[in-house]
Amino acid sequence: IATRRGLPKEKMSENGVLSRAKVLTIDTMNPTVKKVEYAVRGPIVLRAVELERELSEGMKKPFSEVIKANIGDAHAMGQQPITFFRQVLALCSYPELLNDSTFPEDAKSRARRILQSCGGNSMGSYTASQGIDSVRQDVARYIERRDGGVPCDPDDIYLTTGASDGIVTMLKLLVCGEGATRTGVMISIPQYPLYSAALAELGAVQINYYLNEEKCWSMDISELQRALDEARRHCNPRALCVINPGNPTGQVQSRQCIEDVIRFAANERLLLMADEVYQDNVYAEGCQFHSFKKVLFEMGPEYSDTVELVSFHSTSKCYMGECGFRGGYMEIINMDDEVKAQLTKLVSVRLCPPVPGQALMDLVVNPPQPGEPSHDNFIKERTATLSALAEKAKLTEQVLNTIQGISCNPVQGAMYSFPRITIPEKAIQEDKGQEPDMFYCMKMLEETGICLVPGSGFGQTDGTYHFRMTILPPTDKLTILLNKVKEFHQKFTQQYS
């Protein structure tokens, strides 16, 4: 082994070639990245992909296909895109089509408007880092309509690369300090693992507050207070994240609950991050989506002039399911002007969000209007998708609740059920170091081909076990899937009791 001052160790291999020790090894890489976990694409999904390959190579399995109910990716599960959206995107991508008489006039005029906002009239050019001006104006008008006239300034809108990008950007702005002054961020448990992953990567302190499963996964102010008081002993809590409608738990928070949460954030001086990507996905009777912004403004100037709120939306969910376009926006409310300038600088480093995603966001917030040629078909397609989701939400809850040892809260919104499962003690003993619900889900995958995510990937009260299952598969497949879950659970329970 030869060493030169200041250079990594080198050694001569057998064939005489000098090889250097790697600069980047598992011991020398960024330790915060190693702490990142993302259950939604974890070991179960890797095994599901392997099983699909084995099936395609003709290997015998107790099932003929792998059914993925692990990820909220609607189009991957067969949901059809909205025709108008794809027409406009096609026209924007290939403007020659503007001469094609098969495209409706409203799609063409929309495409022209978007192209006129792009440098060189091309979707291939960079845009302003905050996003295209006209799109931000349309987003602002949409928010005003949604919130019953509460004003929205387009300058407070930042277009993003999906909601994920906005959430991570906001956390980056927030996190600072060392030791007991390190920033803490409150997140719900169970949570969508983007939050824990981003906090781990940034080295922030994750503060868990538990949702109340007995009360349909509602938020409980006394639980928020408990989590905050404990955290204040070792970090500096500065933000509270809320996902509504909820992932993975599928609940829709009541207006009263949102008001209480806003009051709590105001009293405790916390910045509120409202993840509202499922705002159109509300199914249960008596439930309604209330935006944090609307409730904040209804609470009067004492709150609406002071509470710092950032809300997030996306093209990936609702009736669109256009995850791959990576469109989204965030609205910032009551943010300090100097911080806002820093935010604008931060997003400018990455140039701009994908332009097709920005264009799609524009169509979502400004869909075809009554009287326009595409309006009726747009309404028909949107209604069909949302009604099918509502039906599947009900079906999932009903069938899961017929299984002894499984109990499922109503799927009020979003795209997931998060049922609680009883795992026999013998199975818990046999899990060989895995979380018991990981053992359960892995066994279900091997025996039935059904791919779910164990509750442990989202966090849960100690001693309780769950899985997350999307309601996205087409109804016929979902019915098969639910029956297979039933059979598997009964067999599993017998085997280990």
In the complex, the smallest distance separating the C-beta of residue 312 from ligand PLP, rounded to whole angstroms, is: 7
> Cα–Cα distance between 430 and 434 in angstroms, integer?
9
Nearer to ligand PLP, 91 or 365 (CB): 365
Return the residues of window 275-294 that contact ligand PLP according to CB under 6 A: 275, 277
Nearer to ligand PLP, 48 or 277 (CB): 277
Q: Which stretch binds ligand PLP (CB under 6 A): 112-120, 160-168, 254-262, 367-375?
A: 160-168
Q: Which of 39, 42, 48, 72 binds ligand PLP (CB under 6 A)?
A: 72
In the complex, the smallest distance separating the C-beta of residue 109 from ligand PLP, rounded to whole angstroms, is: 27
Return the residues of window 299-328 that contact ligand PLP according to CB under 6 A: 314, 316, 323, 328
Q: For the CA atoms of the chain, what is the radius of gyration?
A: 25
Regarding 42 and contact with ligand PLP (CB under 6 A), the answer is no
Q: Which of 131, 162, 368, 419 binds ligand PLP (CB under 6 A)?
A: 162
Q: Binding string, 392-431, against ligand PLP, x = CB under 6 A?
A: ----------------------------------------
Regarding 356 and contact with ligand PLP (CB under 6 A), the answer is no
Nearer to ligand PLP, 299 or 346 (CB): 346
Q: Which residue has the tokens 């209330």?
A: 290
In the complex, the smallest distance separating the C-beta of residue 74 from ligand PLP, rounded to whole angstroms, is: 10
Is residue 398 within a helix (H) or strand (E), and if so which, with residue range? helix 375-400
> Cα–Cα distance between 252 and 289 in angstroms, integer?
7
Q: Which stretch binds ligand PLP (CB under 6 A): 47-55, 80-88, 156-164, 489-497?
A: 156-164
Nearer to ligand PLP, 104 or 190 (CB): 190
In the complex, the smallest distance separating the C-beta of residue 24 from ligand PLP, rounded to whole angstroms, is: 28
- Dig out the tokens for 15 from the structure: 């064939």
In the complex, the smallest distance separating the C-beta of residue 155 from ligand PLP, rounded to whole angstroms, is: 22
Nearest of 444, 456, 381 to residue 47 by alpha carbon: 444
Nearer to ligand PLP, 396 or 493 (CB): 396
Nearer to ligand PLP, 68 or 489 (CB): 68
Residue 2 backbone dihedrals phi, psi, to 5 degrees: -105, 140
Nearest of 164, 322, 330 to residue 247 by alpha carbon: 164
In the complex, the smallest distance separating the C-beta of residue 187 from ligand PLP, rounded to whole angstroms, is: 11
Nearer to ligand PLP, 127 or 164 (CB): 164
How many residues bind ligand PLP (CB under 6 A)? The answer is 14
Pairing of strands 327-333, 157-161: antiparallel
> Cα–Cα distance between 305 and 307 in angstroms, integer?
6
DSSP-derived secondary structure letter, 199: H
Nearer to ligand PLP, 104 or 328 (CB): 328
**Which ranges of 155-211 would DSSP assign to H, the alpha helix?**
162-174, 194-202
In the complex, the smallest distance separating the C-beta of residue 86 from ligand PLP, rounded to whole angstroms, is: 18
Sequence-distant (≥ 6) Cβ neighbours of residue 134 within 8 angstroms: 113, 114, 117, 362
Regarding 192 and contact with ligand PLP (CB under 6 A), the answer is yes
Nearer to ligand PLP, 291 or 316 (CB): 316
* Measured CA distances, 124 to 257, 324, 352, 363 (Å): 44, 17, 12, 18
Regarding 164 and contact with ligand PLP (CB under 6 A), the answer is yes
Instruction: Report helix, strand or coil for 159.
Output: strand
* Measured CA distances, 489 to 225, 433, 461, 492 (Å): 37, 21, 21, 5
With both helix axes pointing from N to C terminus, report the angle between 337-349 and 162-174 in degrees, rounded to the nearest 10: 130
In the complex, the smallest distance separating the C-beta of residue 244 from ligand PLP, rounded to whole angstroms, is: 9
Q: How far is CA 168 from the centre of its chain?
A: 12
Sequence-distant (≥ 6) Cβ neighbours of residue 166 within 8 angstroms: 158, 160, 310, 312, 328, 329, 330
In the complex, the smallest distance separating the C-beta of residue 159 from ligand PLP, rounded to whole angstroms, is: 12
Return the residues of window 237-276 that contact ligand PLP according to CB under 6 A: 243, 247, 275
Nearer to ligand PLP, 110 or 468 (CB): 468
In the complex, the smallest distance separating the C-beta of residue 277 from ligand PLP, rounded to whole angstroms, is: 5
In the complex, the smallest distance separating the C-beta of residue 428 from ligand PLP, rounded to whole angstroms, is: 29
Nearer to ligand PLP, 291 or 448 (CB): 291
Q: Which stretch binds ligand PLP (CB under 6 A): 127-135, 157-165, 179-187, 405-413?
A: 157-165
Is residue 208 within a helix (H) or strand (E), and if so which, with residue range? strand 205-210
Is residue 114 within a helix (H) or strand (E), and if so which, with residue range? helix 105-116
* Measured CA distances, 240 to 212, 273, 346 (Å): 17, 6, 22
Sequence-distant (≥ 6) Cβ neighbours of residue 48 within 8 angstroms: 66, 68, 70, 445, 451
Query: Which residues contact ligand PLP by CB under 6 A?
Result: 72, 162-164, 192, 194, 243, 247, 275, 277, 314, 316, 323, 328
